[in-house]
Structure 1
Amino acid sequence: MFIDKYYEEYEIGESRESYGRTITESDIVIHAGQTGDFYPHHMDAEWCKTQPFGQRMAHGTLTFAIAAGLGAGDINNKSMTYGYERLRFPRPVFIGDTVHGVFSITEKKPHPRKPGYGLVTERVELKNQNDETVLVCDHVHFVECREK
């Protein structure tokens, strides 16, 4: 769905939650092929048994891509991605984990060099089935102002 949501319409504290998505072995294998990251942490079940987590884990870049996809919703004609900041992976994601995103507006400020536009920061938290945070970052949106 296409919407027109201007900078002034964003409220600090507003939040939304995504549906869940279960991570599969296929997700990990396809991502390894796409990126060339065949590290044993993702691909070698026997080697992982000797490591602290005891099992294969999803790539951080795969986890991030899934978080970005879960955050995608309505297409806002007045906004685009400006970038992501402070990306962290506090816990691993394993095959069979089901993750969902929680997205909360944490900051708004005028763009320092582009009059008529603002920057809206949305905290992204990806949580597993136990409600443990597995990814956290700030998604900064470049948003047109209604009043220029």
Structure 2
Amino acid sequence: MSYILEQLSIGQSAFFEKTISEADIQMFCGISGDINPVHVSALAAEKSVFGKRVAHGILVSGLTSAVLGMQLPGPGTIYLGQELRFVAPVYIGDTIRAEVEVVEIISEKKLVKLKTTSTNQDGKVVISGVATVRPPQSS
């Protein structure tokens, strides 16, 4: 289901959850070309500020795209922009909840701004930001 502009309201929200796996990290390395040792080498990661391997921040932020494109506003949404703050690391095995909440509707421009928040299984915020989207024109 998709929500057109007129069906959206401030405070409306949706979420998607996923556990980050070794395979996710390996596939993202192949897709992106980012093989930074902090993502792929246990030895290098132990010496880093994180203490162990971490997922790519952009991989994790991609879960927000799943919410926007599949749930709220849903299929047909055009993702125009994203402000991100990487607040805490995400480790292999962490379950991330990517949530979006409508915070502004700009009717004259047919745009919507949504607060984006990703938290881990302990409820700790790992990524925060604001997305700008153009909702589908018809549901």
Shorter-chain TM-score bucket reads 0.7 to 0.9
Structure 1, unmatched stretches of 5+, are: 113-117
Tell me if structure 1 keeps the 8 A contact 2:55–2:92: yes
**Match of residue 123 from structure 1:** 115
Where structure 2 has 5 or more consecutive residues not aligned to the other structure, the ranges are none
User: CA separation of 1:23/1:9 partners in 2, compared to 1, >3 Å: closer, same or farther?
Assistant: same
Contact 2:67 2:99 in 1 (8 A): no
Percent identity between matched residues is 28
Among 109, 115, 135, which residue is 2:127 paired with? 135
Q: Which residue of 2 aligns with 1:14?
A: 12
Residue 145 of structure 1 and its aligned partner are, at CA, apart by: 7.2
TM-score (norm 2): 0.85
How many equivalent pairs are there?
Answer: 137
Which one has a bigger Cα radius of gyration?
Answer: 1
1:95–1:143 distance in 2 versus 1, CA, 3 Å:
closer
> What secondary structure is seen at the aligned counterpart in 2 of 1:57?
coil
- Give the TM-score taking structure 1 as reference length: 0.80
Are 1:49 and 1:55, in contact at CA under 8 Å, matched by a contact in 2?
Answer: yes
Structure 1 runs of 4+ with >3 Å offset: 74-77, 143-146
Cα deviation for residue 80 of structure 1 reads 2.1
Give distance in 2, aligned partners of 1:85 and 1:91. 18
Task: Work out the CA distance in 2 between the residues paired with 1:48 and 1:55.
Answer: 5
- 1:120, CA displacement in angstroms? 0.9
**CA gap 1:145/1:40 in 2 versus in 1, 3 angstroms:** closer
RMSD: 2.3
Kept in 1, the 8 Å contact 2:64–2:99? The answer is: no
